[in-house]
Amino acid sequence: MAILAKVLLLGDGAVGKTALRDSFLGRSFSTNYIPTLGADFIAKTITLEGRELRFQIWDLAGQPAFRDVRKLYYRNTAGAFLVFDLTRLETLTNISTWLTELAINANTPKVSIVVIGNKLDLLEKEIDLENEIESILETIKLKHLANIDTHITYIETSAKTGKNVPDAFFKLGEGILQLYVNENF
């Protein structure tokens, strides 16, 4: 029997959340941007560490107009992707806002988080964000997640080429299994 894990895709509009999900599901990349309205849901099962882990993937709208609607979808979250656009670094700055929203609304004592720098394929040259990401993550842990047991990692992806997309989902799954190893959820 598969372990069921509610997973959220969070981040500003047009950072590639839906494209990441579609890439993970094996769907072809589309250059047409259609904003998610409210939330979209899909499930996929993976095998990890000899266990079946069934992701309930909730793709939440990133536009500010949907803030009140999003609150409904956070409850009982086991994992979250915090996605930003590597070509628009202001979306990285907004990760802290997304984590605050998650911490306030998730109503969970534990959550696995993967911060994703997406659109790697659009960078003309590599940028080194490692120190900045580590600093942001440390600040976020102290400020927003002090009362929540977390497992946080960072990865850069390209939803267009599929680079590191499966790895991001497996990292999230590994974090979920580490946090909930002795529990049924």
Within a domain: 141: yes
How sure is the predictor about 38, in pLDDT bands with cuts at 50, 70 and 90?
A: low
| Cα Rg of the chain, angstroms | 15
Within a domain: 185: no
How sure is the predictor about 184, in pLDDT bands with cuts at 50, 70 and 90?
A: low
User: Whole-prediction pTM value?
Assistant: 0.90
Q: Which two tokens stand for residue 43?
A: 């499930």
Count of domains in the chain? 1
Chain segment 111-138, per-residue pLDDT in tens: 999 999 999 999 988 777 878 888 877 7
Within a domain: 184: no
Within a domain: 55: yes
pLDDT at 151: 85
Within a domain: 93: yes
- Average pLDDT over every residue of 84-104: 90
Q: Which two tokens stand for residue 129?
A: 């964000």
Which CATH number fits the domain that encloses residue 47?
3.40.50.300
Q: For residue 114, give its domain range.
A: 3-179
